[in-house]
Amino acid sequence: MLTAGATADTCARALLRAGATHIDVLALVFARVVASWRTTIYIGLIHQRIPHGTPMPSVEIYTTGFCPYCSAAKSLLRRKGVAYKEIDLGRDWAQRDVMVKRANGRMTVPQIFIGPVHVGGNDDLHALERSGKLDALLAGDGTSV
């Protein structure tokens, strides 16, 4: 599996979500560009075995069409290799009431849930990523934000 911007651990967890019985992770890590005409590449070899049955929380994102914040949130999740369920409120208005109740009255989109945890919107998701807390939450290691 080739990825751009996703960690080996995130890729392995995505494969486990898809039903793999075990994952042998072999990742090549490429680093910085020294100059536009010359690239320095650092290659690190990572090998780990992640057992089957590692709990991974489901990710749900409430969206509407043509919402740039929804697109940004989904883009971050895709870059991290996270599978998510998208609930498009433009196509299913009945889900809006469900979202508002789950999001404690918040009516804007996106609204993102990782397992039982209400993350919030796009800004909240990116703040978790910047603080380094998103990976733990996606791994099921975090119970709140």
What integer pLDDT is reported at residue 68 of this predicted model? 97
Quick one: 89 and 129 in the same domain? Answer: yes
Report helix, strand or coil for 72. helix
Residue 42, domain extent: 8-50
Quick one: 79 and 107 in the same domain? Answer: yes
Residue among 142, 101, 95, 145 at smallest CA distance from 120: 145
- Mean pLDDT, the chain, as a whole number? 77
What integer pLDDT is reported at residue 138 of this predicted model? 93
What's the domain count of the chain?
2
Look up the pTM and report it.
0.64
What integer pLDDT is reported at residue 93 of this predicted model? 87
pLDDT classification of 49: cutoffs 50, 70, 90: very low
More confident residue, 26 or 87: 87
Quick one: 43 and 63 in the same domain? Answer: no
Cβ-Cβ contacts under 8 Å for 42 (sequence gap 6 or more): 29, 30, 31, 32
Quick one: 17 and 70 in the same domain? Answer: no
pLDDT classification of 111: cutoffs 50, 70, 90: very high
pLDDT classification of 140: cutoffs 50, 70, 90: confident
What integer pLDDT is reported at residue 53 of this predicted model? 57
- Token output for 74: 């989904």
Cβ-Cβ contacts under 8 Å for 82 (sequence gap 6 or more): 10, 14, 59, 138
Q: In the listed set 16, 31, 50, which residue is the last one of a domain according to the structure?
A: 50
* Residues 57, 135 contacting (CB under 8 angstroms): no
